[in-house]
Amino acid sequence: MFSRRALTTLQRAPLSRRTLSSRATAVLSALDLHSGRELPGVYDGEWRGSGETLQSVCPATGEVLANVQSATPAELQRALERSREAYEVFRNVPAPKRGEILRQIREALVAKKDALGALVSLEMGKIRTEGVGEVQEFVDIADYAVGLSRMMNGRVVASERPGHSILEVPNPLGVVAVLSAFNFPVAVYGWNLALSLAAGNATLWKPSPSTPLCSIAVTKIVSAVLERNGVPGAVAGLVTGGKEIGVNVVDSKLVDMVSFTGSEAVGRQVGQAVQSRFGKVLLELGGNNAAVVMPDADLDMAVPSVFFGAVGTAGQRCTSTRRLYLHSSIVPSFLSRLESLYQSVRPGDPLDPATLLGPLHTRAAADVYHAAIERLLKSGAEIMTGGAAYRAEDLPEALRGGNFVRPTIAIPQEVDVKDPVWSTETFAPILSVGVFDELEQAIEWNNGVPQGLSSSLWTRDIRNVGKWIGPAGSDAGIVNVNVGTSGAEIGAAFGGNKSTGWGRESGGDAWKQYVRWSACTLNFSDSAPLAQGVQFSNTA
């Protein structure tokens, strides 16, 4: 086990004395991952993998952390078949017993939380506190699902026919495939796995090809618990791979439900493919999220929250704040304070507790950032701060191979929500600012983009709150007041509307998507009347 003392020592070690790659070795070893050889990236009760090699690259340094052998089409087919076999066993396990297994998974995650959080930082690039916080999300949803395992209730419905009752009964659904994105390489799978296991399903995970180590580490933790309880390992299977593997998972009739997190463009293809074979689909797609700040807002709360929403995770959360609408009376004071925070942030080693800004995940993400800046400049927008990558001399030597860009505040010439400057989600720390005079105008702008994930209003006027959360208010799936767009808890269902996909994960009633529902009419009388008074008899 990776001790807290050892991890603290690694966190505090200066980059000049201990490189990220040597620290990565300690983190990987603590999670039973050995970087000196290729790691198998397929688990169906046994570890295997003979497909193409995936490289796990540290986005802070550009160093290769490990190589992973992904699934071949034949290995994927075997994993799918084993998932189906495992489901046929696991569906008969009583739900409270499934909850006990989830409790044990929760405990196993807690035991590895520090090391797993460090791996998230190394492989994805988010800062240390966010990496550990992501693992905590998995812990929290496992807690939630333990209780849920005794509360996944149907209901009794009154029948119009004497001596009859109607039951609405939830039963396990089957095989749930989870296709997760790079930006939350642990938590999103956790949301799905916890509810899927509680419901009695088998789950097959196809993670992002750029974060295979996180998926292998998590699967090792979960599979050890399943093995101790005599549960087939394919109840929580894993297939790493690229686009071809993902397409085959989505198209397979052995998969009853696909939960996909990713871009709107790919999500549209996934949705069409799954629905064409009449499977169930859960989509968590783009989030082009807005914060609206009224003149009566508490700026001591609003400014730091917008700062975190826009800069946290280097702007790579689905819920990152990408649009900021300020009331005209507070523009100078708000932007002055926000710019000061932007000027204070420095890029750094994601494992250093003092670091607030980590790298973008890939070189391609940095290219997207530069293209968005160019688009803003061509439109005549003012770049208030940022607008470029960090120069090599601005970075410690060990980080000069990383994907570090400057968080940017841009002020376009006008707010036109049909313009790509406003309507396109850019997965990078770019915040566009617009100015309004009436709340109704800000709501119209908030709702005017294709996406509808998260939104935030800052005000102390209850009348504004009523408008914002009411029928003519924000049309997003997350509608916050005096809370930023980013950083949702697990207790409520998470998801968005419109081109965000209408999916719901995590808490609330999200579990109801992971079961199949049956309406069961029971007749305990001595006659068999038809509903609605229908008579169907050849006797007068």
Active site residues: 284, 318
- Among 335, 421, 342, smallest CA distance to 377 is for 421
Pick the closest to residue 131 from 143, 117, 145, 111 (CA basis).
Answer: 117
Cα–Cα distance measured from residue 381 to residue 432, given in angstroms and rounded to the nearest whole number: 9
SS (H, E, C) 232-265: CHHHEEEECCCHHHHHHHHHCCCCCEEEEECCHH
**182 CB-contact burial (10 Å; exposed 0-12 / middle 13-18 / buried 19+):** buried
236-239 and 42-43 strand pairing: antiparallel
Helix (H) and strand (E) counts for the chain? Answer: 16, 24
Q: Tokens in use for 84?
A: 């189906």
Contacts of 411 (CB under 8 A, 6+ apart): 381, 382, 384, 432, 433
In single-letter form, the type of residue at position 262 comes to G
Rounded Cα–Cα distance for residues 188 and 194 (Å):
10
Cα angle vertex 28, ends 488, 223, to 5°?
Answer: 70
Contact 60, 358 (CB under 8 A): yes
Instruction: Name the one residue in this structure whose structure tokens are 């074979």.
Output: 277
Helix (H) or strand (E) holding 40: strand 39-40
282 φ/ψ angles, rounded to the nearest 5 degrees = -125, 120
3-class secondary-structure state, position 439: helix
Contact 496, 476 (CB under 8 A): yes
Burial of 517 (0-12, 13-18, 19+ CB in 10 A): exposed
The residue type found at 405 is V
H or E element in which residue 175 lies: strand 175-179
Sign of CA dihedral 524, 527, 530, 532: negative
Look up residue 233 and give its DSSP letter. G
Sequence-ordered alpha helix ranges (H) in 149-211: 187-199
3-state class (DSSP) for residue 306: helix
- How many residues belong to the chain? 540
Helix (H, G, I), strand (E, B) or coil at 236: strand
Task: Identify any residues that bridge with 66 across adjacent strands, giving them in sequence order.
Answer: 56
User: Between the CA atoms of 436, 440, 443 and 444, what dihedral angle is there, to the nearest 10 degrees?
Assistant: -90
